[in-house]
């Protein structure tokens, strides 16, 4: 099953016809197929963009070039970066949005970040079309050398919550809601692995005063009931079966949530 033409993907917060000019700009320099990752990233939400790409990029084939435009700094002096991470490539602004996915794809290796110099384009407001899309197309067609300048240190970004802290009767973590999906599932930045280190399926979690069953699947609770589970993205998710967990728990994107786990031997003290 040879992959002769890995795709160029696009991830933006444009959610409008502007994206199609990027598709055209890519297809003007390469026959590689153009895939949409997502274009409804909340406007200028660099952390949500970083979270989304880190989640989906690992499912793409070697050689894929991901072009990311969540770019509050458009029109300023911020750099364009091209990154080699694992066997995939990333192109986008130097604002941290590429860092979490680069680390994920590189695994035990270090991702390599390069400056990708460009001439100030015709538009001061649409570097997606005039800078990043053509750069991504050239990487797909000619390789990273076509646009990579000197190796640089990127603006960094950490999107993950710190681990749980031990308390008198269990553990507590301070997490954020990084994304609320169309089902109203509230995705936190707390790694599911971290949660499983301090508790197990079938236990309950305290989340901002709500007591939630921690289950494997939505189907484990009655219709409309809230629950906590590890979503397909690998993070703790606060949801409700066939209902909007964000509404049931009164959560918005960006909210901090305090997640507590009691350790069973201490529950009598409650």
Residue ranges in contact with a second copy by CB under 8 A: 1-7, 9, 14-18, 20-25, 27-31, 33-38, 40, 43-44, 52, 55-61, 64, 73-76, 123-126, 129-130, 141-142, 181-183, 216-219, 229, 231-232, 242
Interatomic CA distance for residues 142 and 37, integer angstroms: 22
**Nearer residue to a second copy within complex by CB, 90 or 262:** 90
- Least distance from a second copy to the Cβ atom of residue 12, Å: 11
- Least distance from a second copy to the Cβ atom of residue 141, Å: 5
**Nearer residue to a second copy within complex by CB, 123 or 149:** 123
**Nearer residue to a second copy within complex by CB, 23 or 210:** 23
- Least distance from a second copy to the Cβ atom of residue 184, Å: 10
**Nearer residue to a second copy within complex by CB, 16 or 269:** 16
- Least distance from a second copy to the Cβ atom of residue 238, Å: 14
**CA-atom Rg of the chain in angstroms:** 21
- Least distance from a second copy to the Cβ atom of residue 233, Å: 8
**Nearer residue to a second copy within complex by CB, 15 or 200:** 15
**Nearer residue to a second copy within complex by CB, 86 or 170:** 86
Q: What is the DSSP string of the chain?
A: ---SSPPEEEEES--STHHHHHHHHHHTT--S-EEEEES-PPTT-HHHHHHHHHHHGGGSPTT-EEEEE--TTTTSSPPEEEEEETTEEEEEESSSTTHHHHHHHHTTSPPEEEE------S-SS-HIIIIIHHHHHHHHHH-GGGT--SB-PPPP---SPPPPEEETTEEEEEEEEEEE-TT--EEEEEEHHHHHHH--TT-EEEETTEEEEEESSGGGS-TT-EEEEE-TTSEEEEEETTB-HHHHTT--TT-EEEEEEE-GGGGGG-
- Least distance from a second copy to the Cβ atom of residue 263, Å: 25
- Least distance from a second copy to the Cβ atom of residue 117, Å: 20
**Nearer residue to a second copy within complex by CB, 225 or 262:** 225
Residue 147 CA, distance from chain mean position: 25
CA distances from 176 to 25, 91, 237 (A): 36, 27, 11
């Amino acid at each position: 099953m040879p992959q002769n033409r890995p795709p160029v993907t696009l991830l933006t917060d444009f959610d409008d016809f502007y994206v199609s000019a990027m598709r055209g700009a890519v297809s003007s320099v390469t026959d590689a197929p153009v895939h949409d990752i997502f274009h409804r990233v909340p406007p200028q939400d660099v952390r949500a963009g970083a979270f989304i790409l880190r989640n989906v990029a690992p499912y793409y084939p070697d050689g894929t070039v991901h072009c990311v435009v969540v770019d509050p700094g458009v029109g300023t002096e911020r750099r364009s970066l091209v990154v080699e991470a694992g066997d995939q490539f990333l192109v986008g602004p130097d604002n941290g949005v590429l860092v979490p996915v680069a680390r994920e794809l590189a695994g035990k290796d270090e991702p390599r970040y390069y400056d990708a110099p460009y001439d100030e384009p015709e538009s001061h407001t649409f570097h997606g079309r005039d800078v990043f899309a053509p750069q991504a197309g050239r990487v797909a067609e000619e390789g990273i050398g076509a646009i990579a300048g000197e190796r640089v240190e990127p603006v960094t970004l950490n999107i993950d919550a710190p681990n749980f802290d031990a308390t008198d009767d269990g553990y507590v973590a301070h997490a954020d809601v990084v994304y609320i999906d169309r089902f109203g599932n509230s995705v936190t930045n707390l790694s599911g692995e971290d949660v499983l280190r301090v508790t197990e399926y079938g236990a309950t979690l305290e989340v901002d005063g709500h007591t939630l069953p921690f289950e494997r699947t939505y189907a484990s609770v009655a219709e409309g009931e809230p629950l906590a589970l590890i979503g397909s993205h690998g993070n703790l998710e606060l949801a409700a079966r066939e209902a909007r967990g964000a509404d049931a728990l009164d959560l918005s994107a960006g909210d901090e949530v305090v997640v507590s786990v009691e350790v069973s031997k201490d529950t009598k003290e409650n």
